[in-house]
Structure 1
Amino acid sequence: MTNLIYSAIASLDGYIADEQGRFDWSMPDEEVHAFINDLQRQIGTYLFGRRMYEVMTAWEGLSNDAGLPAVEHDFATMWDTTDKVVYSRTLETASSARTRIERNFAPDEVRRMKDETDRDLAVGGSELAAEALRAGLVDECHLFLSPIALGCGKRFLADGIRIELELLDERRFGNGVVYLRYGVGKSDR
């Protein structure tokens, strides 16, 4: 069985976007981006909520851009060749290749996907991740803490979710970012 991984870049105080929805403060430098790329190579399918999907579609087709920095070209190539499932009640059509739209998040379907694939799955977007955490589907959380405190905004973890975590790995980067990899234990959903 494969893992479902929730990964995000967050502020020191646990926000993935500020109160205006901006996340420009979280853009990884080349060292962090290359590390993220190496982690993403194991992903066979991305699970996204609509808003996260719309942010990520900026990568669509960039693998054809010869002028892109190597680390970004690497990620764009992975984006283009990875399957995507978007959970949205409002999105009518996908704007990226290898993408299907599902109207509702179905935990049993995600369990089936985990059982039937040999590559990990990644969940993107804090609201969808909260549903997956509540359903007991998330196996690991990968958190990149940025050296900034925002004070408010969109949280990495939703209110009302209590989970026990086991630190599996850590790494410090030259720009002050810290990577924390946690195994997800039992939760109080």
Structure 2
Amino acid sequence: MAKLIYAAITSLDGCIEDRDGSFNWAMPDDEVHSYVNNLERDIGTYLYGRRMYETMKYWEPMYADPAQTHVARDYAAIWHQSQKVVYSRSLADVDTAKTRIERTFDPDAVRAMKAEAQENISVGGPELAAAAFKAGLVDEIHLFVSPIVVGGGKQALPDGFRTPLELLDQRNFGNGVVHLHYRVLAA
């Protein structure tokens, strides 16, 4: 059975974007980006809400762009080769390869996807991840904590949700980012 993994780059105060909706403070350097790339190699399918999909589709043309750094092209190739499911009631169409739209998030369908998948599945975006957490679907969390306090904004983890975690790994990077890898334990 595949694992459902939630990964996010956050500020020290737990935000994925600040009050203005910006996340330009969260840009990983090559060391962090390379580490993320290696984690993402095990992902066969990405689950996104509309906003996260619209942010991530930036990577679609980058995999063949020789002007990009090796690390960026590597991530773009990983992303391009994976399946993508976008949960949106408003998005009419998608313009990236291997992508389909689902109108509603169905926990039972995701459970079936996990049972059938040969590779792990990633859930992206805090709102969709909150639904997956509340449905008991998330198996692991990867947080990349950036050395900045942004003073509020969109939280990486859902409010009102409580679950025990087991620390599996941690790593410090030269730019001050700390990676925390947790297994979600049954409550």
Aligned twin of 1:17: 17
Aligned twin of 2:75: 75
Distance 2:158 2:138 in 1: 14
Q: CA deviation at 1:58?
A: 0.6
**Runs of at least 5 residues in structure 1 that lack an aligned partner in the other structure:** none
Aligned partner letter, 2:100? R
Distance 1:29 1:76 in 2: 15
Aligned residue for 1:95, secondary structure, equals coil
Aligned partner letter, 2:160? G
Aligned twin of 2:178: 178
Superposed CA deviations along residues 74-98 of structure 1, whole A, max 9, x for unmatched, are: 0011111100000000001012110
Q: How does 1:50-129 map to 2 (within 5 A)?
A: 50-129=50-129
Superposed CA deviations along residues 146-180 of structure 1, whole A, max 9, x for unmatched, are: 00011100000121111111100000000000000
User: TM-score if structure 2 supplies the norm length?
Assistant: 0.99
**Equivalences, count:** 187
Q: CA deviation at 1:62?
A: 1.1
Aligned residue for 1:151, secondary structure, equals coil
Distance 1:89 1:54 in 2: 14
Aligned twin of 1:160: 160
Distance 1:96 1:115 in 2: 25
Aligned partner letter, 2:39? L
Aligned twin of 1:142: 142
Aligned twin of 2:49: 49
Distance 1:155 1:163 in 2: 17
User: TM-score if structure 1 supplies the norm length?
Assistant: 0.98
Aligned residue for 1:149, secondary structure, equals coil
Q: CA deviation at 1:186?
A: 2.6
Aligned partner letter, 1:141? I
Distance 1:22 1:13 in 2: 15
